[in-house]
Homo-oligomer: A and B are copies of this chain.
């Protein structure tokens, strides 16, 4: 072999940032301020945690779970568990106890590291986690005096105390498992995606490219997207590799606190789902001139598509680039990215033209392949018109679920994403809908996402969710469920008139329902399954059907 056969292990990247920039800080929000430690301390503590886990019997390949907010100890767990060759299993703290029980047992977690305030939720599972041998409890100021009914619980600090600060990371195969994330399971049981060192290494390097997230050692990142949500889009890995200053909100996820952190920590980039940025926008609009966000350069937005109006607002008001990314737990997760300038020809584009591109899911990252297929697995043209089932392949794309192959989710080496999409002649991916959320009316398809994006741009609308309702003649018809902004005057007719400016008559919602809140999934997306179930529970009828019966 003429070139060195260095395995692509995360342990070869994760200590680097602390070596390059030992004095840079990892900042965790607390009830009345912040708790700060350096990257060097974080690295040393990660090595200590690895020693403690090894002493507790954790071996290469064993699953160690976290049940935690975003914070410095969660970061240490990432660093330690992955580098020592164990498997970082990030449990979603917002799941039901039924799902958690299934996931913990399916993964066979041996240890769970839990934030002290999350203990009550974990205690609901007492006696239902037979593989779990120990609970490590991480505290924060104000949460120190924890106690629990769970057996074998130990304080995180006691667990790592006195351990050596240098762990000799093992040289394992690069295809070894590294991290486990379960999809939140909109249908059926949650399914586990097992990342490998190789897949994660390549994803980490790739998101640092200038045209992807453009991450730099000079950045200060506010990590809002939960670390239990597809590894926070890979940011913790990249941040440790580069030595970025990292700020974590922990359990303080209200928009006001996030906005304060953006200002006080001089954040340059952040990442979160659209609802987070809607909230931050509301805080900023409610107090014009109060916050100085002049350090902020870019927000990465994923999980679901940000409305174009939101992208435009952040640019126009703050000069902040909202970067849309598309991906899923199964894609590590980043697969496409949409920047203000993604191509040479964009240099001369107007803001409006750029915003139109940014509203698309984005351009494919190097090394991946995307294709859209019809029902007979025939590839469809990239003309921006044809839409079909989106498939993807490449070195950081899932090839099977963990101990649960699910062959129907894969086709001929490709992952079947469950999204319905178009690809335009410029190569932009445009997500039409989740295949299960697309509305089939009279043999034609209506995109719930397109309607939502349009409705939410209307003055007075805070959120909009469009779901299908069964219809005897048309098969399905769209209904819009809308949350008004405080004090806004809105009516069904006003919303429909607004939709009529863009959509054909047959594409307009049959009804507009005003609600106080839209239920969210455990990963912060609008939970259309619950919206539909609630309409069914309420005995909701489409107007023309209700009319017939009246």
Could you tell me which A residues sit within 8 Å of B by CB distance?
A: 1-6, 8, 12-13, 16, 19-21, 23-24, 175, 177, 193-196, 198-199, 201-202, 205-206, 208-211, 214-218, 220, 241-245, 341-347, 363-364, 366-367, 369, 393-402, 413, 415, 427
Tell me which residues across on chain B come within 8 A of A194, comparing CB atoms.
2-3
The number of times this chain is found in the oligomer is: 2
Indicate whether A402 sits within 8 Å of B218 (C-beta atoms), given known contacts A20-B363, A343-B20.
no
One of B13, B208, B397 near A4 (C-beta < 8 A) = B397
Given A217-B342, A343-B21, A366 and B3 contact (CB-CB distance below 8 Å)? no
Specify which chain B residues have a CB less than 8 angstroms from the CB of A341 in the assembled complex.
216, 218
In the assembled complex, the Cα of A8 lies from the Cα of B174 at a distance in Å of 13
Question: A216 touching B205 by the CB < 8 A rule?
Answer: no
Most buried by B among A21, A216, A220, A369: A216
With a CB–CB cut-off of 8 A, which chain B residues contact A399? Answer: 1-5
| B427 contacts A20, C-beta separation under 8 Å | yes
Contact of A6 among B24, B342, B367 (CB under 8 A): B367
Q: Which residue of chain B has its CB nearest to the CB of A19?
A: B427
Output the least CB separation between A363 and chain B (Å). 6
Other A-B pairs, 19, CB within 8 Å; known A2-B194, A3-B397, A210-B215: A2-B193, A2-B196, A2-B399, A2-B401, A3-B195, A3-B199, A4-B396, A5-B395, A6-B395, A16-B366, A19-B427, A23-B345, A208-B211, A210-B210, A211-B216, A211-B242, A216-B341, A218-B346, A244-B344
- Whether A209 contacts B211 by the Cβ 8 Å rule is no
Chain B residues within 8 Å of A364, by CB: 16
A393–B4 contact, CB under 8 A? yes
Q: Which of B202, B369, B394, B402 contacts A2 (CB 8 A)?
A: B402
CA of A220 to CA of B347, assembled, Å: 12
- Separation of A241 and B368 alpha carbons in the complex (Å): 12
* A344→B341 CA distance, assembly (Å): 25
Q: Select from chain B the residue with minimum beta-carbon distance to A402.
A: B2
Query: Using Cβ atoms and an 8 Å threshold, which residues of chain B touch A395?
Result: 3-6, 8
Question: Given the complex, which residues of B lie within 8 Å of A397, measured CB to CB?
Answer: 3-4, 6
Q: Would you give the shortest CB distance from A203 to chain B, in whole angstroms?
A: 10
A sample of 10 inter-chain contacts (CB < 8 A) reads: A1-B196, A2-B399, A3-B198, A3-B397, A4-B396, A4-B399, A5-B395, A8-B202, A20-B343, A216-B341
Q: How far is the CA of A181 from the CA of B4 in the complex (A)?
A: 16
User: Which residues of the partner chain B approach A201 to less than 8 Å between Cβ atoms?
Assistant: 367
Contact of A3 among B3, B214, B215, B396 (CB under 8 A): B396
- The reply to whether B21 and A205 contact each other, CB–CB distance below 8 Å, is no
Contacts of A211 in B (CB 8 A): 208, 216-217, 242
Whether the Cβ atoms of A393 and B344 lie closer than 8 Å is: no
A9 to chain B: closest CB distance in Å? 10
Contacts of A2 in B (CB 8 A): 177, 193-196, 398-402
Q: Which B-chain residue is minimally distant from A219 (CB atoms)?
A: B344
Instruction: Say yes or no: A245-B4 contact (C-beta < 8 A), given A16-B366, A206-B205, A366-B13.
Output: no
Decide: A398 and B366 in contact? CB cutoff 8 A: no
Which residues of chain B are near A199, meaning CB under 8 Å?
3-4
**Shortest CB–CB separation between residue A27 and chain B, in angstroms?**
13
A-B interface, 3 closest residue pairs, ranked by CB to CB distance from nearest: A2-B194, A3-B199, A6-B395
Q: Which of B21, B196, B209, B400 contacts A209 (CB 8 A)?
A: B209
CB-CB under 8 A from A245, the residues of chain B are 344
Across-interface contacts of A401 in B (CB, < 8 A):
2
Given known A21-B344, A205-B206, contact A4–B217 (CB-CB < 8 A): no
Contacting residue for A393 out of B6, B196, B343, CB 8 A: B6
Task: Specify which chain B residues have a CB less than 8 angstroms from the CB of A415 in the assembled complex.
Answer: 4
When chains A and B are docked, how far (Å) is the Cα of A2 from the Cα of B61? 13
**Are B210 and A413 closer than 8 Å at their CB atoms?**
no
**CB-CB under 8 A for A4 and B209, given A13-B366, A344-B243:** no
Nearest residue (CB) in B for A24 is: B344
CA–CA, A401 and B347, complex, Å: 44
Q: Which of B19, B175, B195, B210 is close to A216, meaning CB atoms less than 8 Å apart?
A: B210
Collect the chain B residues with CB atoms within 8 Å of residue A6's CB.
Answer: 367, 393-395, 397
